[in-house]
Amino acid sequence: MKKYSILLLLLIFAHSTFAQTKEKVSKNDKGKITNAVSKTSSPLELALEIVKIYGGDKFKNMKTLVVRGTADVSGSPTITFPATFATIYAGEKYRLEVTNPFQPLKQVYDGEQTSSSIPNFSLPPLNRLGFPLLAKIDDKSFVISALPESAKKKVGFRVTAPEGFYTDFFIDEKTGFVKTYESSYEINGRTITTSIAIDKLR
């Protein structure tokens, strides 16, 4: 099985996240962020602490989440094109737009059906991947577990949706914020990986 990193052959999501919520930033007298997390915390304890840092109940009950930034899109493993993307979540509904000169994509889920601008192609349900999963921590149907062996040296946890889709969250030990998160799944026999590095959250 060949391994690719997304949309058609390659799409690496990266850079910016924006949400209608605020981090619970703790600072000392010198203005230094002190949201440090413990390496010894269980995956569930760590996940709950991260949600608390991002606003607790206000974060979990947010009505709208917007994730946007830049991406690399390619029709082969050696040639890439710059692109931008934006995903808007509203409850279980979402809209994704990837803009690039090679293969633009729009995917919309209206709460009942998923539509895609590319015939016979759609990504897995985006409300079961990525940052929105943090708001599902208290939902018993979403499983919180440790990172895989390949990432054991990093601080973080995995959230798996009831459908089996999962996202690995990697935490900045000093700030307690999510630094990056990564999801993998299969499309037509190909392993697809999306990786997002958070630049800002506001």
Q: How confident is the model at residue 75 (pLDDT cuts 50, 70, 90)?
A: low
Q: Report pLDDT digits (tens) over 174-184.
A: 888 899 999 88
Say what the pLDDT of residue 78 is.
Answer: 66
Is 177 within 8 Å of 59 (Cβ atoms)?
no
Distance CA 193, CA 128 (A): 14
Distance CA 171, CA 178 (A): 5
CA distances from 135 to 112, 152, 176 (A): 21, 24, 16
Residue matched to tokens 């509203």: 90
* Number of Cβ atoms within 10 Å of the Cβ of 13: 27
Q: Find how far residue 171's CA is from the centre of its chain.
A: 13
Say what the pLDDT of residue 34 is.
Answer: 52
Is 46 within 8 Å of 35 (Cβ atoms)?
no
Q: Report pLDDT digits (tens) over 48-66.
A: 999 998 888 888 888 888 8
Both structure tokens of 91? 């409850």
- In 41-155 the beta strands, taken as DSSP E runs, fall at 65-74, 81-90, 93-99, 105-109, 114-116, 143-145
Say what the pLDDT of residue 200 is.
Answer: 63
